[in-house]
Structures are given as C-alpha cells and as structure tokens.
A and B are shown apart, each in its own frame.
Chain A
Amino acid sequence: MALRHVLFALALAVLPAAMSAMDAPTGVLAIPAGDQDEVPCGGAAVVVEMPGLGRMILTLEEALPGAGRGEKGAARLSSHIDLVLPGGRRGSATIVRRGAATGALLLHPDVMLDDSVTKPLELADSAQVHIGDTVWTAGNAFGALEQDGAAAISRGVISGLYAIPSGSPPVRGRGGRILSSYRGAVIEIDAAVNDGNHGGALLDGAGRLIGLVSLGTARERRLGTAVPIHVVMKDLECAPTLAEPAAERDPLERSLVRAAAAVAPAIALVYIERPAGLGNPEAMPRPTRLVDEVPAYDRERLQNWWSGYYHQQQMFYTDQPISALVIDAQSGLLLTAASNLHGEAEVGSVLVPGKAAIPCKVLARHLPLDLALLKADQPLPFPALALATDPHLALGEPIAVAARHIVDGGHTMTVGVVSATGRRRTRNDFAFTQTDAHVNYGSLGGAVVDAQGAVVGMVVMLGPDDGNWPWMINSGVGLFADSASIARVLPEMIAGRTTGSAPPIGLGVLLKRGLAKDGMEVESVTPGSGADKGGVKPGDIITALDGLPTRDIGAIGRGVMKHRTGERVALNVRRGGETVALSVVIGALAK
C-alpha cells in the first residue's frame, strides 16, 4: 500500500467518521395536487417557528395545486391549502403572506401542529453556506409523503451558489408545463430533486433548514436548486434567528472541497462560436407560439412537439459557454472535451471577468479520448493546473468534479466515487474512468480532483461516442479521461496534430459464426498480425482466452478488451484432435 494511503487509513481510524444517517424530518409536510393538476404528485411545505407569529408553514407558490398550469394559473390559486401531515393525518392552512421576489408563501396552520406529529425545523443562515457543504433534501418526491407518511430524503452537496438571471425564460417540464418562474439567488445541489420536492426542505448537515427546494434549474446544469432561506425571510419580511450552518463534514469530503476550490481558478469559461446545427439555437426549430396560447383543439399536437423540442434545446444542446482547463497560461493553452465543440466549431473566446474576452482557436482534437486543445491569442490571466502524472484511481475512490458556468461567479462542484475503471467505449486502446458524481453540460471539460488535491482527469463524453446525444446528463454515469492518458496524447496535440479515430485492436483473426459448440472457429488469419505470429491457423477452434471459455464472439471481444496493444493473451486452440496453447500479442487492426 502506498504510504499516503497508510497515513490516510490511520487518519480515518483516529477521526470518528461523520455519520451520514439522518431520520426523515417530521417538519416537512405534503401539499396534495389538485384534481385538475396534470402532475405526478403534489408539492411539499415546511413547519417553522416565526417570532411573533408562532408555528407557521413555509412553501413556494410553485408547489400549490394549479401552479403548474402556467403563469395565468397562479392568479387562480386558492388561499386555503390542504396538507398531509407526517404519519398520514390530514390538515389545512391559510396563506397569510406572499413574497413578491421569490414566490415564497407564509401559511398559518388551521389545526394545532403538535410536536408529536410535526416538529418545526430550525433555521440556519444560508448566507453563510459554502460550495461542498453536505446537504439533504426532504420532501414529497413522487408523493412519498402522501403515501408513506414520511418525507423521502436524499443526500448531496452544495454544488453551486449563483443566481438564475432575471429575464431567463421560465423553466418548463414535459408538455411545456411551467415548473418554476423563479429568478434570483439559488443554492444548487446534487441531491435528488424531483416533482414533489418543490416547496420542501433543503437541510444542512445538522438537519437545519437552509432553503426551500425549487424546480428551477440553470439550463446547462439541470441540477436541483433551492431558494436560500435568508432570501425567503427577507422577501416575507420575517426576521427569525438564523443559526450558523453546520460546517462539519466527513474529513474526506473536507479534503475534496479544498481540492476543488484550489483547482477552480485554473478553470476558464470559453464561449464557442458554433457555425450551425447542434449547440446553435439559431439553427434549431422553435415553437411558433407558446403552448398556453394555443387553442384547445391543437394543444395536444403542439404539446407533443414542444416536449421534443424542449428536450433537444434544454437538455441536449446548449449554447452556453463551456469549462476548459488552463494547462499553460503563458502559451494560452486550454483543454476541454471535444464533444463540447459539437464537431464544427473552430474559434471562440476565453471569458475574463471584468475584462475583454480573449479570442482563441481550436489547435487540435483527440477524438478517441474526446479531447480538444484550444489556443488563446494572448497569455491567459489565470493560473495553470498540473495534471497528476500517476493518478490513483481505485474503484470506490472519492473524487470531486470542479467546473465553472458563470464567468464572474464561483465554481461548481459535484462529489462521487470512482464507479468503474478501464471502461472501454470502443474497441481501441483508450480506456476511461467512470464516476457516479453528477456531470452535465456545465461540468463537461471540468477537472476531476481526488481527496489528496491531485487533478486526476477531465470530464468528457456526456453520452455515446458521437457526443451528440448526451443521455448521461446527471445520470450518475459520468466518464472522464484520466490525467495519465491525457498526458500521453498531449504532446502531439500541442504540436497541432488531430487524431480523428484510433484503430481497433484485436488478435487478427476472422471468425466463423456459431458453428463449433465449444469455441469459435477461425476462418482466416490476417498476415503479420499477432495471431499470425503467434501460430493461429485457419480452421483452429479457439476454446479459451486467458483461461475463460470462448463460446461466442462476445467472449473473445471482452477478453481482448481487458488488454491494450502489445499485451499478450493466452489462447487455447483445438486443432484436429488436440488442444494447443498459444500466446498472441494484441495489436492494431486495419480499419
């Protein structure tokens, strides 16, 4: 075991591991959906103690029955709200105050809210929270509280602190339903946020309320957000005591937070000029009118069309600036994911807070690893980051993804573990590392750091290899190119050479399909290939590779994929009546 790991294990043995377990808080209530609501479930609300007012309920307007029916629907909202209390009992409340800026609502309960049923949440000062703080969401996700009598919870970290700009269009769900019209300061989190969480609690690591969960999202991030509680309180003209938020974290997570903050200044934001097509909204079709304004007879057709359009625009393609890693500030070199360029872009500009942007161009691409190297016209006013030469990426190793999506804002950070190593996406020599940290357009091209502060990789390939269909957005299946693999191809990229594709690797045999029962028959052997040099002959039946039976072609393919060019595999071959053991070198095949 490496020394640092011994030390690390010792540190953990001494420090009590911060416990993650949290009970479902009883200070969270459900607001059932109205009969007319076309939503999967209702929203949530929280119970708090307000000075001078006693026990009160907080929620967001977007959580009320009827709120999803559009901006006009909001005017018809009832002032009397039904509630489901923890344990399954029912109650109701009346709206007494509405915050103009946040849509936050203060409600007076119509029934006694006894401590034995629902315990008020303590409030913590959300102005003092930090990126990377441990948080929990607690709400009525998909009707959990209505069905189970207890809130469903989810753990995450504060992954961003920023404002959804005023003038942004409302965030819409499938069918054009308005999820949130809130614009303003948000706490972005990587904990689960779904229908039913809206209006519910965002809690700090000690279970204190730091925000009301909203379905609003930043377009390029698509992660859940909450309206900070200090903003809600100001908007509602309440002044309760706000405790200091819980800063305590797992020592490991504390190291990840420090590592992400340290690398953040070397993450630049680049605006890419996309000439056409993907990533350029001007080239995409637009709905002719808003769904809400369409006559009833045509609404369904347009809604279907809209939902397709919406997902293309809001999830698949983005015209937002991208994250790029400064690897040489003096020479103006930045590294990002090639799929960020959508294949066509050649020029862009590096955004500099408070100053003029610096033009840049694409110097080279390495498509097998999904890398693109950009070169700025001038030296960059940012520090450069150093890629770890020997990244330690064991399965289960905790990592963080650091990125940036607002030029003069802070960085973003999601946390996870190494989910898989040696992940192959195509039959070539290049392998990726997989993480369950949430990655999205806002973190594609971002840095992957470990708890020791090393930059161990860069987020690439938000989906299948063409990069145009990123179904992996925030799926918990994120891929990154490890720093050692990047370092191997970087010199040729700096020299301006682009690699379009890598040759497939294999034994150098053509196999017959499904004839022999216990193996695969060789039809022909490529002259000069590993198989040829290793003595494989046409007519041989390959029965095992590295000791594992090869009854189908997939078994041979997967066996080869555990190796790279130049490595040897052991083949068992049946030839005539006897079994022959051969050693074959894996090599590049002609395309």
Chain B
Amino acid sequence: MNLRPLPCGRFLLALALLAPLASAPALAAADRDLPVAASRSTLDALAGRLLPAYVFIGGGSGVVISADGLVLTNHHVIDGEDDLSIRFANGAVRPSHLLGTDPVGDIALLRIDDAHDLPHVDLAPASALRVGAEVVAIGNPFGLGNLDDVPTLTQGVLSTGRMVRGDYTDAVQGDAPVNPGNSGGPLFDMYGRLLGINGQIRTVSGFRINSGIGLAIASTQLAAFVPLLQQAQGGLVHHTAAPKDLELAARMEGVVVENAGSSSLMAGDRLLLIAGRPAVSVATALGLFASLPWVPGSAIPVRVLRSGEEVTLSISPARQVIPGRPYHGLSITDSDGRIVIETVDDDSPGAQAGVRIGETVVSANGRPVLRKIDWLKAVVKLEVGDALDLELRAKDGAMRTVHIPLRRQ
C-alpha cells in the first residue's frame, strides 16, 4: 500500500503500553436527557459512585460493565496471565474467566464467576466523545494500589474527538494523567459514563510516565466489539482491514484513491466518510477501514466524491491478520500409514479441546488427512484466531470431532 510514513513512526516514539513492568452492556442516556454539566466540585460524589465498578487485574486495571460481571480491560493486561482473579477497591477478590479478546484493538472481555447485582457503569454514547469534555480516569498507576487497595483518580479533558492512532482505530485522547498500571482502566465523563478504556500513552522522554497524552479505546468501539467478544468462547475476534492492494494518496483537496486494488472503489475517488467518520488523512482513512469487527460478509459504508458527485458504496473489507504464530500445541507422526497425535502440549488449545495422544487424525478442516503432507497443508495457512476442526478416531474406534481455536504462541 502506498502508505506515506506516519509522522509518528519515525523515531523513538515510545508507544508505551500502560501495563506495569505488566449480557450486552447498556448504553447510557443520550446527551439531551442529561442535566447541565458538572465540574471539579462534583467529583467527590461521582467518585463514590464509580469506584465500586473499578477493579484491579494483575498489574493493570479494569471496569465492570454489567450486573452479571462483564469486565472490560486491555488485551495486553491479561495476555499471558494465568491468574485472572479480579480485586475490587474494597479488597474483595473474585475469580473470572476470559470470554474473548481482541489483540489488535487491545480489548479483552472477562466474566466474574457467579456474579449478580454488581455495581457497574454504562458505555457513553458517541455524542459524549467530544473534544473539551471533562474526564476522570481511575487506575493503579505504578502499581501503587497493590499495597493498600487504593485506586487513583485523575482528572482532565478530552484533547480530541474520536480519532485513529495506529491500532487504536476508534480512540480518544485525554490529558488526565495516566501511567503504567492505568492500562485497562476506565475513562469517565462527569456523568459517570464510560468514555473509553485507557491503554496507551505517547511520550518521547523514554520514560513511561504521563505526558498529558493518554489514548483510550472509545466507548463506540467497545460497544461494537463487546457482542462478538461475548460469543468468542475464550478465543479471539478480528478487525476488518483495508481492501487488498488499496493505495491512497494525500492531495491538496484531500485523500484520493490511487489504486482501488480488490475493492469497488475507483482511482480518483476522493474519500469523504468511511464507516461514517471523515477520512481526513491517509493514516486516518486506512485506520477507519480497520475500525470495525470482522465477520464473514462484513461491509463498510464508504462515501466518496466521484466525478463531482457524492456516492455511498458498500466496500468488502479484508480480515486483519492478528500478528504472531498460530498455536495448537499438537504434533503428529506417521504410524503404519495413519496420522496419529504424537504429543499434546500442556494447557495448549489442543489439550483444552480434549485431544489425546494416540488418536488418529481422520480429517482437518474438512479435508481428509492420509499423509503428513495433508496435515501440513491443512495447518500452514491458518492464522492466529482461526480454528482447527479435527475429526479424530480413538483407539477403540470411536469417532469424534474437536474444535481448536488457535491462539498466539
């Protein structure tokens, strides 16, 4: 892709992740239903309402978004963590399990086991994500709360409206101080609505401390991804991506298609809106193509200026690759003309799906497995987030199928 280098990609950008040295959520009331805005003075009461929904997770933070225990945090907070226990600010510790995670967009959804009637917060509507709005962040900066269970509350304003920053394709920027340990924690407006999940800071100092630039994954993106995360059965969800071979260029008048690639766009189209958001720069346009959850048959509405007329097209996005090597944890061997499972790694996706040593692989993802090469052909094209469906025959001849979601090794 004709990707003009991002201005921020060149040198020493400490794109610091904030983890330390580690039922569908309700949407809140529309703005018009709310009283006139609050200010610093009402923080006391607001904090009392929000703190019960805040949780410590590992070295980071999270927030409860439903009475039955849905918890949002960052993917990078729980990535590689065995212990998903959640600690409330009153010191109560509860076990939880992973429902689904989005490694690209950096959101993970957990559920607290056997939870009901929990204090929780609502997601803010898009109208609340406006520049200048007062915000409050709650987190565990520098892990200070690990000794005393006391979370940290910081205040600021939104520095931007919804925008794109690298993989954070639907994000807001705030100047409330956030530091390592704020990761996964909530950013609220002064009505206590969840504006976003804090996940990154931008700094050139090389030190992972607040620079007044905190990036949070916007509530609009959370709302779009939570339903898929809920259904992911502990697996991964994908993002969309710009159509293959699409090339864009920045011109005086705006962002223009140079090469439409595999899409139904045309060279010379000027991009106006992608998924309803303005395509103000090449980086933003590419980011907007990647801002939605991918499902088979996904379509992105794109408004373009073509030969002087505005046209809205429905573009089929690509599926974004989740970086990393896909991992199933199985190895096979050829035994008397049969392909049998030779080893199953402990706690691997294969082991979790119940695959046992010595079982014969009959087919993989619908294709018969007769020789080693068949197995290799079946697994070589799989990516992180894909699944390996195996037909297995046990030693006693019983047939069964297993579904193995591949995760990152």
A residues apposed to B, CB below 8 Å: 8-9, 12, 17-24, 32-33, 37-42, 87-91, 141-144, 146-150, 152-156, 173-175, 191-195, 250, 252-253, 307, 311, 315, 394-398, 416-417, 419-425, 427, 431, 434, 436, 471-477, 546, 548-549, 551, 554-555, 557-559, 561-562
Contacts and interface: CB of A to CB of B under 8 A. Distances in A.
Given A40-B11, A149-B280, A153-B159, A562 B133 contact: no
A424 B44 contact: no
- Name the 6 nearest CB pairs between A and B, nearest first: A476-B177, A192-B212, A396-B43, A149-B280, A143-B7, A88-B280
Nearest to A431: B148
Interface string B259-295: 0000000000000000000101101100000000000
A331 to B, nearest CB: 36
Contact of B281 (A148, A424, A549): A148
Interface stretch (B100-108, B150-158, B349-357): B150-158
Among A147, A156, A417, A471, max chain B CB count under 10 A is at A147
A376 to B, nearest CB: 35
Given A476-B179, A477-B152, A558-B91, A148 B284 contact: yes
Contact of B204 (A144, A173, A472): A173
A561 to B, nearest CB: 5
Interface of B: 6-8, 10-13, 36-41, 43-44, 46-48, 51, 90-93, 130-134, 141-142, 144-157, 159-161, 163-165, 173, 175-179, 202-207, 209-213, 250-255, 278, 280-281, 283-284
Given A20-B157, A40-B13, A548-B91, A192 B209 contact: no
A218 B141 CA distance: 26
Given A89-B254, A423-B144, A41 B210 contact: no
Given A8-B41, A20-B132, A311-B206, 15 more contacts: A17-B39, A21-B133, A22-B157, A24-B160, A24-B161, A88-B255, A141-B213, A252-B39, A396-B40, A396-B46, A397-B43, A419-B153, A422-B150, A477-B177, A562-B148
B12 A174 contact: yes
Given A18-B39, A142-B8, A416 B212 contact: no
A8 B209 CA distance: 35
Contacts of B156: 154-155
B231 to A, nearest CB: 31
A20 B39 CA distance: 8
B206 A307 contact: yes
B159 A152 contact: yes
By DSSP majority rule, is chain B's interface helix, strand, loop, or mixed?
Answer: loop
A417 B40 contact: yes
Contacts of B278: 149
Contacts of A174: 12, 204-206
30 contacts: A12-B41, A20-B39, A23-B131, A23-B132, A24-B160, A88-B250, A142-B202, A143-B8, A144-B163, A147-B284, A148-B160, A148-B281, A149-B280, A149-B284, A154-B156, A192-B159, A311-B207, A395-B153, A416-B155, A423-B144, A425-B147, A434-B144, A475-B209, A477-B210, A548-B90, A548-B93, A549-B93, A551-B93, A558-B146, A561-B149
Contacts of B6: 143, 147
A143 B12 CA distance: 14
B36 to A, nearest CB: 8
A387 B90 CA distance: 31
B173 A144 contact: yes
Nearest to A438: B177
A558 B157 contact: no
Contacts of A156: 175
Of listed A191, A307, A419, residue having the most chain B CB within 10 A: A419
Contacts of A88: 250, 254-255, 280-281
